[in-house]
Amino acid sequence: MSSLSERPAKGVVGVPVPHESAALHVTGAALYTDDLVHRTKDVLHAHPVQAATARGRIVALRTGPALAVPGVVRVLTAADVPGVNDAGMKHDEPLFPDEVMFHGHAVAWVLAETLEAARLGAAAVEVELDERPSLITLREAIEAGSFHGARPVMESGDVEAGFAESAHVFTGELQFSDQEHFYLETHAALAYVDEAEQMFVQSSTQHPSETQEIVAHVLGLHSHEVTVQCLRMGGGFGGKEMQPHGFAAIAALGARLTGRPVRVRLNRTQDLTMSGKRHGFHAAWRIGFDADGRIRALDATLTADGGWSLDLSEPVVARALCHIDNTYWIPNARVTGRVARTNKVSNTAFRGFGGPQGMLVIEDIMGRCAPLLGLDPMDLRERNFYRKGQSTPYGQPVVHPERITAVWRQVQENAGTAGRRREIAAFNAAHPHTKRALAVTALKFGISFNLTAFNQGGALVLVYKDGSVLINHGGTEMGQGLHTKMLQVAATTLGIALHKVRLAPTRTDKVPNTSATAASAGTDLNGAAVKDACEQLRERLLRVAATRLGVSASDVRIVEGVARALGGGDELAWDDLVRTAYLQRVQLSAAGFYRTEGLHWDAVSFRGSPFKYFAHGAAATEVEVDGFTGAYRIRRVDIVHDVGDSLSPMIDIGQVEGGFVQGAGWLTLEDLRWDHGDGPHRGRLLTQAASTYKLPSFSEMPEEFHVTLLENASEEGAVYGSKAVGEPPVMLAFSVREALRQAAAAFGPDGAAVELASPATPEAVYWAIEAARRGGAVRDGRRPAGAVEDGPVEDGAVGGGAAGGAHLAGAAAQAGAHAPAGA
């Protein structure tokens, strides 16, 4: 085992401890960015001037009426930018646009003494627009050929030969919804200029270094003239990886021009209408199975709704392609990705970063095709699992395929699936208007950034004369428990108690050039960097202790705050050891660094090994569905998840539970709606609050919820043998959707193939039930869209409109285009 993975005796990693800020969270004492406003003097408040059209060139922008409003100090426009008028890393996101690109686009910002004065001032600004045609739905963009960015193609094997040798070939389409992050803390920034003309920005950001970079180039400064700090975030989920930069730049620009601190804090409606979502996707696919139900070939085109600018859409699509295989070996594959450009907010990172979208496609295929193949869905899934020696379609070997089988079998054992499925069959036979179903799905999720350069982390660890320790690292805390794990890693590496270590807020002047806290890599990168810094300090202190104890440094261990020689003898307490080191002029600070080894990726050929390892998990979900309304409840969920050798079990279990519920919300509840009519409000987000956008609540929680971490699963080459846990649990929720599909199918004849919309709202489930009652072969009295020609190898279509055609007319305009696979 490598030194990075090996655990010392009596360390505090692996011990279940509460979140380091838990008490502050529940008492309301935790400070967030906007809380600092009340500790800052003479703050100005910023309010956006939002355009109420989906697209139009700005003909005139009259700010005079705003300046006449009492309390208004200044109106920020493009003319005020001393540097580059752009807030994106792709240079396609003007901070102050000359063309409105989505309904709610901010064209100017008003600064005032109070937020109310700023609001009134923003309402007084006169914006004259030359309106232009807009594209709101993914279908409109595809039909118009509106795309931007790269169009990667992932190929392996011989696709046409794979179809030729297939006994069964099916085609179909799927369109599924985007998802709002709905973090509790909306976007916020507070900026001020210090006496040395340095810009200091407090920002709710997952990527302080990039926020620093954007602020610097907007202001025409160098990075060393800008410091960005993130205290903590009240949730991020990827929505604060790229999108905080513009809001921080507005605050910084206002502070630079007025000489006063400037606050930007979006209210909920502004956050919903101005910030990006999880990418919705359309998929057109063709798949071939042999006579035994094993996949022989897949040809698919995935189209993401990128919104008005690229943001992170290209890597999101790349990761979707890399995860369309999920846990299944596909020997012959051709998958094309593309980004549609629409006149909506710029969609961005969201927990899973394209992985859930890619995996949803293959899981939907398996759920739809299983009855057509005459196979139980669980059987079809298991017989296609990766085996030893097999590689992904992009060429990365699946090193531990036995973990897929391990979590799959353990979750069935824990859930008692065999006996419960018999009970469910008996229940369904006795209840014609209520049906139950139990589905099991598994996941394989790659950990690391697809862009190799991002796979690095840094840390600065300080030991003070009294023996206390302060950690700085490049990761940010958004409630996920990263800081808690870093404290445990530092204490374990140094051999001291947890209470001796404190963690400082993330700042760009302490650890530079950091990567975003994203891709589930926060612990891997920053934990290894913290460990590296602590190991440097420990080695120095061991030499000091060896001199005092009269032994070789290699024979000294620091355990539970005491330095001892192997075999016994004298001891030296940690505090005394540190004081002695100081008196001997030994350096008591260290900068740590880590770069993930073994990664390589060619984005052009779409080949390589972009991931350090794969995380695995499996979930068994039982649901009950009402045949009259489509309403349902989740009766029980069992999960077995692979987090390696857990650094902090309490944190990890919480992440698994939260990820599952968030995934279930995306797949079953959260239904973003836009006005796509031709009226004056075209492009307006209709679901602008929690009253119209349904989030998971206690009533949607499983009545029984059991989470088990896979044992004996230490990961070689990762910090203390642990694995990432942030994103993978989201995809455990596929089991909910598949259980709903099976429950809907139970209302029809045996073997009916049921299509199910995503999100599978009660309305969508109702229409799936109605289709099942008609035998599943037709929809609304018509042959399903996407029907394939009859032939010796192509024996049927798995129908295909938007999301399986299960939405009512209100959602039909969000329908996906019928683009052929490979288009």
Per-residue model confidence as pLDDT tens digits over 268-286: 999 999 999 999 999 999 9
User: Using CA atoms, how far apart are residues 19 and 774, in angstroms rounded to an integer?
Assistant: 52
pLDDT of residue 166: 98
Within 10 angstroms of residue 470's Cβ, the number of other Cβ atoms is 16
Dihedrals phi, psi of 666, to nearest 5 degrees? -60, -40
Residue pair 816/175 in contact (Cβ under 8 Å)? The answer is yes
User: Using CA atoms, how far apart are residues 612 and 521, in angstroms rounded to an integer?
Assistant: 10
pLDDT tens figures, 748-778: 999 889 999 999 999 999 999 999 999 863 3
pLDDT of residue 780: 31
Q: Does pLDDT of 809 surpass 70?
A: no
pLDDT of residue 802: 39
pLDDT tens figures, 350-406: 999 999 999 999 999 999 999 999 999 999 999 999 999 999 999 999 999 999 999
Confidence at 9, pLDDT banded by 50, 70, 90: confident
Dihedrals phi, psi of 291, to nearest 5 degrees? -65, -20
Q: Does pLDDT of 18 surpass 80?
A: yes
Find the radius of gyration of the CA atoms of the chain.
Answer: 28
User: Using CA atoms, how far apart are residues 599 and 26, in angstroms rounded to an integer?
Assistant: 41
Dihedrals phi, psi of 564, to nearest 5 degrees? -135, 150
Q: Which residues of 730-758 are buried (b: 16+ CB within 10 A; e: fewer)?
A: bbbbbbbbbbbbbbbbbbbeeebbbbbbb
pLDDT of residue 797: 55
User: Using CA atoms, how far apart are residues 65 and 178, in angstroms rounded to an integer?
Assistant: 38
pLDDT of residue 1: 67
pLDDT of residue 776: 67
Confidence at 569, pLDDT banded by 50, 70, 90: confident
Question: What is the average pLDDT across 686-710?
Answer: 95
pLDDT of residue 801: 39
Q: Does pLDDT of 781 surpass 60?
A: no
Element of type H or E holding 217: helix 208-219
Element of type H or E holding 337: strand 333-341
pLDDT of residue 798: 56
Confidence at 567, pLDDT banded by 50, 70, 90: confident
Write out the DSSP string of 706-752: EEEEPSS---TTSGGGB---SSGGGGGGHHHHHHHHHHHHTTS-TT-
pLDDT of residue 684: 98
Question: Facing residues of 690 across strands?
Answer: none
Q: Does pLDDT of 803 surpass 90?
A: no
Residue pair 150/325 in contact (Cβ under 8 Å)? The answer is no
pLDDT tens figures, 592-633: 999 999 999 999 999 999 999 999 999 999 999 999 999 999
Please give the biggest Cα pair distance in the chain.
89
pLDDT of residue 699: 86
pLDDT of residue 437: 98
Residue pair 237/662 in contact (Cβ under 8 Å)? The answer is yes
pLDDT of residue 116: 98
**Which amino acids are annotated catalytic?**
727
Residue pair 544/582 in contact (Cβ under 8 Å)? The answer is no
Dihedrals phi, psi of 659, to nearest 5 degrees? -65, -40
- Percentage above 90 pLDDT, the chain: 92
Q: Does pLDDT of 783 surpass 50?
A: no
Evaluate the CA torsion angle 100, 102, 104, 109 in order and state its sign: negative
pLDDT of residue 333: 98
Mean pLDDT of the chain: 94
Q: Does pLDDT of 662 surpass 90?
A: yes
Q: Which residues of 385-421 are buried (b: 16+ CB within 10 A; e: fewer)?
A: bbeeeebbbbbbebebbebbbbbbebbbebbebeebb
Q: Does pLDDT of 799 surpass 70?
A: no
User: Using CA atoms, how far apart are residues 227 and 196, in angstroms rounded to an integer?
Assistant: 12
Q: Which residues of 690-708 are buried (b: 16+ CB within 10 A; e: fewer)?
A: eeebbebeeebbbeeeebe
pLDDT tens figures, 232-266: 999 999 999 999 999 999 999 999 999 999 999 99
Evaluate the CA torsion angle 521, 523, 524, 525 in order and state its sign: positive
Q: Does pLDDT of 813 surpass 80?
A: no
Q: Does pLDDT of 675 surpass 70?
A: yes
Question: What is the average pLDDT across 133-161?
Answer: 98
